[in-house]
Amino acid sequence: MKKLMISFCFGLIITFGICTHFSVLESTISKNVIRLHIIADDNSKDEQALKLKVRDAVLLKTKDIFTNDVDILSAKNNIKNNLGIIEKTAKEEIIKNGYNHDVNVTFEKSYFPTKVYGKVTLPLGTYDAVKVKIGKAKGNNWWCVMFPPLCFTNGASAKLDDDYFKNNLSDNEISFITTKKSPQIKLEFKLYELWQKLKKAS
């Protein structure tokens, strides 16, 4: 029984250490990343197709606006100053396709689960995000990384522009989100996710 208790306590200490380490990394990463979410009215085929058309229109319209941001502060200010352009572009695309949905564009903090975007793994946590909500916004969403501007560089398949990360994240943080995960790291990720979910539920 004593050995069992020692093993249990040792396991708790290791888990706490892993989660604390991940928490520090997640906090820094989330403060230096801005996400874009476009949420469809519902999950019907037509509404999901409309969501993607809105996505294409917004990315095309804003590509030249957001790709020159060099740091997180300038990116945030730029986004706040151009929310109206994003909303106008989304609304025009909706009308162009024969719909009359309302569209609501906000820049807010939102909680997200762990997501993989090309070579980047973003840990679960609270991030700044531009949210484009179409109609009832009850459907599946499309998302990408708005800063660093991977949305505009075919980030799901292209080589990442390391300069953006080097200017905003430490080498350890860059490795954390871009390195292929070993089975041990994947297990640690799962432990951290479970810990965060338990914290969020409490």
pLDDT tens for each residue of 106-129: 999 988 887 877 777 787 788 999
Polymer length in residues for the chain: 202
3-state SS assignment for residue 122: strand
In a domain, 26, yes or no: no
Instruction: Kindly state the tokens that stand for 142.
Output: 């499309």
pLDDT at 202 exceeding the cut of 70:
no
In a domain, 102, yes or no: yes
pLDDT of 3-18, one tens digit each? Answer: 555 444 444 444 444 4
**Residue 14 confidence (pLDDT):** 44
Task: Name the phi and psi angles at 15, rounded to 5.
Answer: -60, -45
- How many domains does the chain divide into? 1
C-alpha 59: how far from chain center: 16
**Residue 126 confidence (pLDDT):** 87
pLDDT of 25-84, one tens digit each? Answer: 555 677 888 999 999 999 999 999 999 999 999 999 988 888 777 788 988 999 999 999
Q: Are 79 and 34 in contact (CB under 8 A)?
A: yes
d(CA 175, CA 27): 15
The residue whose two tokens read 């700044």 is 128
For 195, half-sphere exposure in the C-beta direction (CA atoms, 13 angstrom radius) is: 18
In a domain, 72, yes or no: yes
Q: Are 44 and 140 in contact (CB under 8 A)?
A: no
**Residue 171 confidence (pLDDT):** 73
**Residue 107 confidence (pLDDT):** 97
**Residue 113 confidence (pLDDT):** 80
Please report which helix (H) or strand (E) contains residue 85, including its range: helix 83-96
**Residue 154 confidence (pLDDT):** 55
Residues 85-112 have a mean pLDDT of 96
In a domain, 114, yes or no: yes
**Residue 148 confidence (pLDDT):** 81
Please report which helix (H) or strand (E) contains residue 4, including its range: helix 2-31
| pLDDT bracket for residue 182 (50, 70, 90) | very low
Tell me which residue range forms the domain holding 83. 32-167+181-197
d(CA 46, CA 111): 28
Query: Could you count the other beta carbons within 10 Å of the beta carbon of residue 155?
Result: 19
Return left, alpha or beta for 103; rule: phi > 0 is left, psi -120 to 50 is alpha, else beta: beta
In a domain, 174, yes or no: no
pLDDT of 117-170, one tens digit each? Answer: 777 778 778 899 999 999 999 999 998 888 887 776 554 433 445 566 666 677
What type of residue sits at position 83?
A: L
In a domain, 19, yes or no: no
